[in-house]
């Protein structure tokens, strides 16, 4: 079957932009883009003009002024003399704290409830049905207020409270009062870096061992003990290092328990009732929806799969782990993305119980004090949009790896830097999802680990420089930068994050984001961004020029480097 194209009519004419099918699509898209940009410019200009008519200037300089209010729950140092920008960062971190804790707990609740709904035990199945149907049909705001009221009214006063015990046998050291929850917290001393380093090494070794066990099982069918070995590496290795350091000198890490001093408890980790109520309510509410997604995913797997697994001698737990859930994940992941996004956005209800999240700080007190409703709401929308897009990107990359394999689907047919340079670097062939050489699981190995570490370190340094670095002692406040410098720095941060995530998930777009990050790195340097400030302890020029050289090397590896064990970015080099 051949494609039909318009016959050649000699040279190019202006009318061919619409009459010729070769140019019509690009012409219409160009006109639509110009119209969209024009409408956007008109809208922004109209808003600025109307604000000027009201005597208001459109500016973000107010973010450098002292905030003048306290925040009761915070993860970084903050006082009422700190700037509105710092207050916004505190609120953003509080939002991220609730989102991360909520997504983790909601996933656990949802998976357990979803599996138990299919239990053969009638009582258990009906109890989970009652939980799902009750919780998801009550507005989440009412559940948040209810839990907050329970904590405030029924928990004891600090002078009457004692530590909670586990089944009356083990003292947990946790204190629950009507003023908040107090949890024992670690105190780091000299030598604690060795323990943290041992923990990181243990995690990396556990990942390597899990891959080895999976490979042995696929090749030979032998099932190696995974959980005990991984726990031994993650917990045992840091514990051994801590015991050795404690035997030589003082313990590198100690636990600080809450102690009643005066009218309240002091020490440990303090969590306000508003935080715990918001966290539990969002987790329980979202967990009910996730339970239905899990149940639907399990039911989508044909019953014959379970019967075949039983016929092969697999026990129910191994059947669920090895046969059912891997296939069900393809159905569970897409709606799970929506539930994570809903939980993150529902965290904005925190203001109802007095928890100071981004909505309460930036979109609440800061807005009321400064009168900059347009600027603060724009920043708030940008924050929630960025978080939602990041969550969606991560989950979609993961979903790309676990979705149903089809021989007709392919990876990487869209225009890409790798395609443009195929004549120089290749020829390379993009693997389709059905190819035997296609590696469906995320994760990296070999030299690509260094590339992951490079972009992960740059991304972390950019975030610390932007949000956590003290101003104006260490750098000029971000909102006083020229607009071009602000835009380029934000674009550099977003591009670095995209490069990091796409490399971790072995997506072919990693090459494009890596090249974009390099361009933005150069642009930021030319516009006067102090890139050396990302690591102020290093000599001048090391970060700027060293980062440039490292990114060039990473891109060269992604384009020219050999991939051991078939491929890392779903491409293979063709012979000849």
pLDDT tens digits for 269-310?
A: 889 999 999 999 999 999 999 999 999 998 988 888 888 888
How far apart CA 245 and CA 576 sit, in angstroms, is: 58
Q: What is the pLDDT of residue 345?
A: 93
Mean pLDDT of the chain: 83
pLDDT for res 486? 87
Task: Give the angle 181-182-183 at the CA atoms, nearest 5°.
Answer: 120
Pairing between β-strand 428-430 and β-strand 571-573 as defined by DSSP bridges = antiparallel
CATH number for the segment(s) 84-137+274-401: 1.10.3720.10
Between CA 359 and CA 98 the distance in angstroms is 13
Inform me whether the pLDDT recorded for 475 exceeds 50. yes
Distance, in Å, from the CA atom of 505 to the CA atom of 444, rounded to the nearest integer, reads 8
- C-alpha to C-alpha distance for 100 and 391, rounded to whole angstroms: 11
Report whether 81 contacts 66 (CB < 8 A): yes
Torsional sign, CA 417, 418, 421, 422 = negative
Distance CA 100, CA 275 (A): 13
CB 94 within 8 A of CB 355: yes
Relative orientation angle of helices 325-346 and 84-116, to the nearest 10 degrees: 140
Judging by beta carbons within 10 Å of its beta carbon (0-12, 13-18, 19+), is residue 45 exposed, middle or buried? exposed
pLDDT over 60 at 161, yes or no: yes
Say what percent of the chain tops pLDDT 90. Answer: 28
CB 529 within 8 A of CB 547: no
Cα separation, 547 vs 517, in Å, equals 11
Quick: pLDDT tens for 476-497: 788 888 888 888 999 999 999 9
- The crossing angle, in degrees rounded to 10, of helices 510-526 and 448-463 is 40
Region 522-540: what's the mean pLDDT? 86
Residue bearing the bigger pLDDT, 16 or 382: 382
Q: What is the pLDDT of residue 564?
A: 34
Q: Give the integer Cα–Cα distance in Å for 551 and 376.
A: 35
Q: Does the structure show a pLDDT above 70 at 206?
A: yes
What's the pLDDT score for residue 338? 92
What pLDDT score does 326 carry? 81
Cα dihedral 498, 503, 506, 509, rounded to 10, equals: 50
* Nearest one of 110, 69, 77, 94 to 278, comparing CA atoms: 94
Q: Put residue 269 in one of left, alpha, beta given phi > 0 → left and psi -120 to 50 → alpha.
A: beta
Calpha distance 573→559 (Å, rounded)? 11
Domain regions of the chain by residue span: 1-58, 84-137+274-401, 187-256, 410-573
Residue 54 is inside which H or E element, if any?
none
Provide the pLDDT for residue 536: 78
Q: How confident is the model at residue 446 (pLDDT cuts 50, 70, 90)?
A: low
Nearest residue to 86 via CA among 60, 103, 64, 105: 64
Confidence of residue 443 (pLDDT cuts 50, 70, 90): very low
């Amino acid at each position: 079957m051949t494609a039909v194209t318009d016959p050649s009519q000699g040279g190019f004419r202006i009318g061919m932009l619409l009459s010729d099918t070769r140019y019509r699509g690009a012409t219409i898209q160009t006109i639509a883009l110009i119209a969209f940009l024009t409408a956007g410019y008109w809208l922004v200009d109209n808003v600025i003009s109307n604000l000027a008519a009201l005597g208001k200037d459109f500016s973000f300089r107010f973010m450098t002024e002292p905030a003048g209010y306290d925040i009761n729950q915070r993860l970084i140092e903050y006082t009422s003399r700190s700037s509105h920008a710092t207050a916004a960062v505190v609120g953003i971190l509080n939002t991220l704290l609730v989102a991360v804790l909520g997504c983790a707990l909601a996933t656990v609740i949802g998976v357990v409830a979803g599996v138990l709904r299919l239990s053969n035990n009638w009582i258990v199945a009906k109890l989970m049905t009652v939980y799902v149907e009750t919780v998801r049909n009550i507005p989440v705001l009412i559940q948040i207020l209810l839990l907050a009221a329970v904590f405030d009214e029924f928990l004891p006063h600090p002078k009457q409270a004692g530590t909670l015990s586990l089944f009356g046998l083990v003292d947990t050291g946790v204190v629950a009062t009507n003023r908040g929850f107090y949890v024992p917290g670690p105190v780091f001393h000299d030598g604690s870096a060795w323990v943290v380093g041992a923990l990181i090494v243990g995690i990396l070794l556990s990942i390597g061992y899990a891959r080895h066990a999976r490979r042995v099982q696929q090749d030979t069918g032998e099932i190696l003990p995974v959980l005990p070995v991984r726990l031994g590496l993650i917990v045992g290795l840091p514990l051994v290092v801590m015991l050795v350091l404690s035997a030589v000198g003082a313990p590198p890490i100690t636990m600080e328990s809450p102690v009643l001093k005066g009218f309240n408890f002091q020490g440990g980790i303090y969590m306000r009732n508003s935080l715990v109520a918001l966290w539990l309510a969002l987790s329980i509410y979202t967990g009910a929806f996730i339970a239905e997604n899990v149940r639907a995913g399990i039911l989508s797997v044909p019953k014959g799969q379970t019967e075949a697994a039983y016929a092969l001698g697999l026990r129910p737990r191994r059947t669920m782990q090895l046969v059912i859930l891997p296939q069900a994940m393809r159905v569970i992941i897409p709606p799970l993305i929506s539930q994570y996004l809903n939980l993150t956005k529902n965290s904005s209800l925190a203001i109802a119980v007095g928890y100071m999240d981004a909505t309460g700080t930036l979109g609440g007190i800061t807005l009321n004090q400064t009168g900059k409703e347009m600027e603060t709401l724009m920043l708030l929308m940008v924050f929630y949009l960025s978080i939602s897009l990041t969550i969606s990107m991560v989950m979609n990359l993961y979903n790309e790896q676990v979705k149903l394999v089809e021989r007709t689907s392919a990876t990487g047919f869209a225009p890409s830097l790798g395609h443009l340079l195929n004549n120089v670097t290749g020829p390379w062939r993009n693997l389709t999802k059905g190819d035997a050489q296609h590696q469906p699981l995320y994760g990296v190995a070999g030299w690509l680990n260094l590339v992951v570490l490079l972009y992960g370190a740059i991304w972390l340094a950019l975030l610390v420089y932007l949000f956590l670095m003290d101003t104006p002692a260490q750098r000029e406040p971000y909102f006083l930068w020229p607009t071009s410098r602000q835009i380029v720095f934000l674009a550099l941060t977003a591009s670095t994050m995209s490069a990091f995530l796409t490399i971790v998930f072995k997506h072919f777009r990693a090459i494009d984001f890596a090249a974009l990050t390099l361009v933005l790195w150069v642009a930021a340097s030319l516009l006067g961004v102090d890139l050396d400030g990302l690591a102020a302890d290093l000599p001048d020029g090391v970060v700027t020029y060293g980062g440039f050289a490292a990114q060039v090397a990473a891109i060269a590896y992604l384009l020219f480097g050999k991939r051991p064990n078939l491929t890392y970015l779903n491409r293979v080099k063709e012979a000849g």
